[in-house]
């Protein structure tokens, strides 16, 4: 019996959840991604700060779906959607579809500043997390031998731009390893000179959370010794100095950009479907308007609903639940008019700033401190895919909690075999 062809582009939270929710052996499914693994983005910052190994939060796609004979996987990039022909064009050829699921997610938004994009580091992939880890550790190795005072100043300033969850969690983690870990490794470096600077264009960190959480996070950040600069933006960064909106300059050889995201747009989608944030406008069924059989889910999808007339937030919960709803709808043989429209139910948000320091916003209660930190750890641990990875992360977290240390500070260089 001939089965409809379903193509899923992207194996992030939305794409993975759709595949895990879709009826087995009902469709002929092709998964396309530029990587061969799923990445657990909420813990990228722990890889960047040497608290977790990359393998703990990265999951090979072929292992995840090795028991699904109805799913094929191809590692490539999509160049164009040819909707009239019901084809997608990739680097390895064209593939036909009956249903196309776009789950391409989002990438770092540098707001058109090419200089900053060239020199700043970002944190949207496991590889980028490793790059940050390598850069930080390499800088401290160089500090031991350099005699150039200007270069020392640059290497002793770690700057994070954007005080959303990623920026807040990164700055807190760097502040803690500055205090408890790095002085033991690099005993000849004066870490009182190391500055961790968090720059935010708004009036408070964690602007999407409640007033209580915003206030508590600002207190926690300052308690950890992070320099919090509010109502400040970055005008330029040339790899050596950051120029702020007020004209001030800060020397730095490490700037991490966490100040926003933009959708991973695909060629072939009508321009009038491009919404704010470079996202694809979809209806309540996640269908791309004007493209029958083409759906967008997760961060790339812009959906307005009665509860969210300005568009749904770009959160993992939204991506997961949209994907589940679409998979359930596709199981139905009924007309699309009988499909269930999606509406997001806010389950809450949370962020951790450091050891015993976190904030949690739930629909019915808000809390902070040690209990919030424990809830944050528990929920993130439960979202990890494999039992083995859950155990590895739990062991690492337990060890780090009691020793305030880890043995994961490896510089992975392409020149390891050279002397």
Phi and psi of 3, rounded to 5°?
A: -105, 145
Q: Is residue 112 within 8 Å of 70, Cβ to Cβ?
A: no
Give residue limits of the domains in the chain: 5-108+261-338, 114-259
Nearest to 47 by CA among 148, 222, 166: 166
Q: What global pTM score does this model have? A: 0.92
Q: Which contiguous run of DSSP H or E holds residue 321?
A: helix 316-331
In angstroms, the CA 314 to CA 311 distance is 9
pLDDT score, position 389:
87
Q: Tell me the sheet residues that pair with 358.
A: 352
Radius of gyration of the chain (CA): 22
Give the DSSP letter of residue 188: T
Which helix H or strand E contains 102, and what residues bound it?
A: strand 99-102
Identical fold for domains 5-108+261-338 and 114-259, yes or no, is yes
Q: Is 193 helix (H, G, I), strand (E, B) or coil?
A: helix
Q: What is the 3 state secondary structure string of 18-33?
A: HHHHCCCCCCEEEEEE
Predicted confidence pLDDT, tens digits, the chain (419 residues): 688 999 999 999 999 999 999 999 999 999 999 999 999 999 999 999 988 889 999 999 999 999 999 999 999 999 999 999 999 999 999 999 999 999 999 999 999 999 999 999 999 999 999 999 999 999 999 999 998 999 999 999 999 999 999 999 999 999 999 999 899 989 899 999 999 999 999 999 999 999 999 999 999 999 999 999 999 999 999 999 999 999 999 999 999 999 999 999 999 999 999 999 999 999 999 999 889 999 999 999 999 999 999 999 999 999 999 999 999 999 886 667 789 999 998 888 999 999 999 999 998 899 999 999 999 999 999 888 888 888 889 888 888 877 777 767 778 766 655 55
Q: What angle is formed at CA 356 by the lines to CA 353 and CA 359, rounded to 5 degrees?
A: 50
What's the pLDDT at 193? 93
- What's the rounded Cα separation, in Å, for the pair 93 and 396? 43
pLDDT, position 203? 95
Q: What is the pLDDT of residues 194-253, one digit of tens each?
A: 999 999 999 999 999 999 999 999 999 999 999 999 999 999 999 999 999 999 999 999
And the tokens for 239? 């790899």
Pick the CATH number of 5-108+261-338 from 3.90.190.20, 3.50.50.60, 3.40.50.970, 3.30.460.10: 3.50.50.60
CATH match of 114-259 with 3.40.120.10: no
User: What is residue 418's predicted lDDT score, i.e. its pLDDT?
Assistant: 55
Say if CB 42 and CB 316 are below 8 A apart.
yes
d(CA 228, CA 200): 8
CB atoms within 10 A of CB 162: 24
Of the candidates 237, 120, 225, 114, the one whose C-alpha atom is nearest the C-alpha of residue 180 is: 225
Instruction: Provide the pLDDT for residue 229.
Output: 97
- Looking at residue 7, what is its pLDDT? 98
pLDDT in tens, 333-353: 666 778 999 999 888 899 999
State the DSSP string of 208-243.
Answer: TS-HHHHHHHHHHHHHTT-EEE-S--EEEE-SSEEE
pLDDT at position 113, please?
94
pLDDT at position 333, please?
Answer: 67
Of the candidates 254, 273, 274, 236, the residue with the CA atom closest to the CA atom of residue 110: 236
The confidence score (pLDDT) of residue 403 equals 79
């Amino acid at each position: 019996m001939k089965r409809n062809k379903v193509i899923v582009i992207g194996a992030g939270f939305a794409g993975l959840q759709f595949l895990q929710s879709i009826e087995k052996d009902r469709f002929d499914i092709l998964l396309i991604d530029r990587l061969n693994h799923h990445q657990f983005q909420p813990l990228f910052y722990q890889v960047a700060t040497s608290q977790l190994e990359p393998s703990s939060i990265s999951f090979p796609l072929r292992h995840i779906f090795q028991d699904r004979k109805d799913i094929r996987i191809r590692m490539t990039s999509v160049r164009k959607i040819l909707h009239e022909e019901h084809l997608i064009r990739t680097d390895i050829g064209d593939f036909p579809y009956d249903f196309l699921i776009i789950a391409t997610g989002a990438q770092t938004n540098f707001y058109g500043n090419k200089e900053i994009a060239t020199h700043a580091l970002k944190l949207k992939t496991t590889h980028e997390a490793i790059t940050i880890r390598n850069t930080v550790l390499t800088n401290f190795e160089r500090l031991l031998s350099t005699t150039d005072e200007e270069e020392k100043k640059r290497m002793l300033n770690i700057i994070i731009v954007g005080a959303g969850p990623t920026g807040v969690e990164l700055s807190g983690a760097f502040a803690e390893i500055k205090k408890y870990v790095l002085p033991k490794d690099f005993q000849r470096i004066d870490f009182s000179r190391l500055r961790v600077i968090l720059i935010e264009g708004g009036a408070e960190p964690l602007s999407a959370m409640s007033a209580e959480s915003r206030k508590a996070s600002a207190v926690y950040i300052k308690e950890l010794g992070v320099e919090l600069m509010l109502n400040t933006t970055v005008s330029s960064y040339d790899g050596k100095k950051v120029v702020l909106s007020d004209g001030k300059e800060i020397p730095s050889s490490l700037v991490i950009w966490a100040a926003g995201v933009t959708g991973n747009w695909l060629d072939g989608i009508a321009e009038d479907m491009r919404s704010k944030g470079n996202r694809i406008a979809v209806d309540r069924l996640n269908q791309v308007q004007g493209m029958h059989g083409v759906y967008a889910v997760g961060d790339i999808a812009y959906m307005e609903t009665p509860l969210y007339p300005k568009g749904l937030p770009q959160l993992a919960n939204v991506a997961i639940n949209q994907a589940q709803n679409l998979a359930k709808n596709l199981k139905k043989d009924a007309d699309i008019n009988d499909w269930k429209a999606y509406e997001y139910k806010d389950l809450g948000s949370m962020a951790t700033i450091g050891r015993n320091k976190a904030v949690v916003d739930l629909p019915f209660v808000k809390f902070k401190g040690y209990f919030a930190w424990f809830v944050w750890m528990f929920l993130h641990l439960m979202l990890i895919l494999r039992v083995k990875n859950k155990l590895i992360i739990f062991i690492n977290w337990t060890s780090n909690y009691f020793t305030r240390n880890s043995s994961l500070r490896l510089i992975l260089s392409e020149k390891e075999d050279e002397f």
